[in-house]
């Protein structure tokens, strides 16, 4: 007998192979079952999109701290000074790509840059996240909570529309032909669906001799409904014959 | 397979908590409580085959504790053992405050207007959980019951949303 569950399983692609033909045949000959199939397909999409949408929300700082405690050695974690909370947003969403990279975030309303680094990047001299956090403490560079929240939101909002993997892939196809001041477009669109215009700002060498390029979004980009516009710059350095994203600079 | 304890893990809990909180407490408080539990009981969960399910069950426990503390109920089941409906008086406001698309808000509000079992299983489905995980978390006797409940709730959801 073809019941609702079978139709749902068929819609989800979880129906056992040996039952598919029977269900397909029943659906073909029955408009009601066709409608039911469509409803289940649509509800699957709705739930998937709902999950993705809620998961795209940045986590509150308190939960990020709990996560750090969960992953760290408990005793050590309890003693650990609080590192910048926005780091996790980046780490999770783009963990695979970011693993070998150094990330810089700058706030234009903040007088000094903040550097977050991971081990063995080869660019920062192998400083660890904790060392960098400690260094910030020593230098009294700890920003106020509001700054942390703003920057955290900004970074996560960038990644709502900025597909890093796509960007790196696309830009590597043309970067060799670009000269300083050249403007170009890739397939990337901003949050409003407009193609992003980039400009090659400068070519430079990193401290350890890597060939790097600084690329900026030509126009200010709105990162949230309340944002009046944010400057975004990207630094890419060549490693293993490919340019990799090493930093994102955000300023007002 | 062991769950990777990263932000996606916590965001899954936040998502599922939406279906557990039932307007009586903040979903984030449930996640926070479950995380605290995991931190305090590391030695117990480190070898747990499904830490997410463990955390979700803890959130359900915290929710029940919260309800009991509120003195509205001494039990969440009536004399016949059936689940009692808990009046939803906060969730719609909380959904409005979320920075998500209007479509997402509409779907979430609709789910929150449904029965508790549907709220729970639909949010588990939104997290792309397997039927086995859903069975473990919902505590139903068989996968067949999970499938049946899910198919009914999805049909109801679709019926409640305007086409």
Q: Give the ipTM of the model, two decimals please.
A: 0.82
- Whether B120 and B134 have beta carbons less than 8 Å apart is answered as no
Q: A246 Cβ partners below 8 Å, 6+ apart?
A: A101, A102, A103, A104, A123, A206, A212, A235, A236, A237
Count of A-B CB contacts under 8 Å: 118
For residues B39 and B51, is the Cβ–Cβ distance under 8 A?
A: no
Radius of gyration of chain B (CA): 16
**Rounded Cα distance, A155 and B16, in Å:** 25
Residue A245: phi and psi, rounded to 5, are -70, 125
Higher pLDDT: A134 or B27? It is B27
User: Is the pLDDT score of B126 beyond 80?
Assistant: yes
CB contact under 8 A, A92 and B157: no
Residue among A6, A8, A43, A86 with most chain B CBs within 10 A, to mutate? A43
pLDDT band at B79, cuts 50/70/90? low
Gap between the Cα atoms of B52 and A172, Å rounded: 39
Write the residue in A40, A63, A95 that is nearest to B10 by C-beta: A63
Query: How far is Cα B10 from Cα B14, in angstroms, rounded to an integer?
Result: 6
Task: Give the CA dihedral B146, B147, B152, B157, nearest 10 degrees.
Answer: 90
User: Could you give the CA distance from residue B93 to residue B27 in angstroms, rounded to a whole number?
Assistant: 13
CA separation for the pair A208, A105 (Å, rounded): 20
- Give the residue from A44, A60, A117, A55 showing the smallest Cα distance to B153: A44
- Residue B144 and residue B89 in contact, taking contact as beta carbons nearer than 8 Å: no
Task: Give the chain A residue whose CA is nearest to the CA of B101.
Answer: A53
User: Given this model, what pLDDT does residue B13 score?
Assistant: 92
Neighbouring-strand partners of residue A204: A212
The secondary structure of residue A16, as a DSSP letter, is -
Residues of chain A scoring pLDDT < 50: 74-149
CA-nearest of B83, B49, B143, B134 to A47 is B134
User: What pLDDT score does A150 carry?
Assistant: 53
Please judge whether B154 and A66 are an interchain contact, meaning their C-beta atoms are less than 8 angstroms apart: no
What's the whole-number mean pLDDT along residues B86-92? 50
The pLDDT score that the predictor gives to residue B27 is 86
Angstrom distance (rounded) from CA A79 to CA A130? 12
Query: CA–CA distance from B43 to each of A65, A193, B10, B91, B140 (Å)?
Result: 19, 48, 19, 35, 28
Percent of chain B with pLDDT over 70: 77
Q: DSSP letter at A241?
A: T
Question: Which one has a higher pLDDT value, A155 or B32?
Answer: B32
CA dihedral A86→A89→A90→A93, nearest 10 degrees, is 180
For residue A250, give the 3-state DSSP assignment.
Answer: strand
Residue with the bigger pLDDT between A69 and B124: it is B124
State the nearest Cα–Cα gap between A200 and chain B, in angstroms: 33
Which residues, other chains included, contact A13 with Cβ-Cβ below 8 Å and sequence gap of 6+? none
Å from B72 to nearest chain A CA? 29
Tokens at residue B82, please?
Answer: 């059936």
Mean pLDDT of chain B, nearest integer? 81
Closest CA to B139 of B162, B120, B160: B120
């Amino acid at each position: 007998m073809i019941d609702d569950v079978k139709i749902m399983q068929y819609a989800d692609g979880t129906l056992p192979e040996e039952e598919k033909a029977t269900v397909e045949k029943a659906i073909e000959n029955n408009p009601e079952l066709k409608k039911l199939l469509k409803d289940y397909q649509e509800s699957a999409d709705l739930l998937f999109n709902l999950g993705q949408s809620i998961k795209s929300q940045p986590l509150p700082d308190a939960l990020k701290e709990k996560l750090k405690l969960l992953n760290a050695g408990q005793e050590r974690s309890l003693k650990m000074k609080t590192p910048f909370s926005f780091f996790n947003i980046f780490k999770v969403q783009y963990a695979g790509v970011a693993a070998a990279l150094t990330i810089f975030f700058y706030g234009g309303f903040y007088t000094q840059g903040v550097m977050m680094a991971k081990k063995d990047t080869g660019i920062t001299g192998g400083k660890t996240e904790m060392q960098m956090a400690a260094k910030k403490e020593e230098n009294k560079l700890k920003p106020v909570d509001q700054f942390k929240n703003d920057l955290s939101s900004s970074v996560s909002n960038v990644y709502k529309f900025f597909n890093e993997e796509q960007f790196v892939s696309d830009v590597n196809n043309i970067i060799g032909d670009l000269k300083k001041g050249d403007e170009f477009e890739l397939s990337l669109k901003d949050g409003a669906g407009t193609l992003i215009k980039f400009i090659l700002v400068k070519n430079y060498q990193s401290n350890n001799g890597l060939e790097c390029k600084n690329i900026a979004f030509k126009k200010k980009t709105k990162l949230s409904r309340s944002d009046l516009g944010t400057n975004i710059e990207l630094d890419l350095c060549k490693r293993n014959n490919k340019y990799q994203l090493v930093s994102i600079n955000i300023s007002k | 397979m062991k769950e990777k304890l990263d932000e996606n893990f916590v965001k899954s809990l936040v998502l599922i908590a939406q279906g557990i909180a039932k307007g009586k407490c903040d979903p984030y408080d449930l996640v926070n409580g479950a995380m605290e539990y995991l931190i305090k009981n590391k030695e117990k969960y480190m070898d747990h085959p499904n830490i997410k399910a463990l955390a979700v069950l803890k959130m359900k426990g915290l929710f029940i504790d919260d309800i009991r503390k509120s003195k509205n109920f001494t039990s969440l089941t009536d004399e016949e053992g059936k689940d009692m409906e808990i009046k939803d008086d906060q969730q719609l406001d909380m959904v409005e405050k979320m920075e998500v698309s209007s479509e997402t808000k509409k779907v979430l509000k609709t789910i929150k207007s449904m029965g508790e079992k549907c709220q729970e299983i639909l949010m588990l489905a939104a997290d792309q959980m397997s039927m086995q995980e859903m069975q473990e978390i919902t505590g139903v006797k068989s996968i067949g019951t999970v499938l049946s409940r899910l198919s009914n709730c999805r049909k109801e959801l679709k019926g409640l949303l305007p086409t």
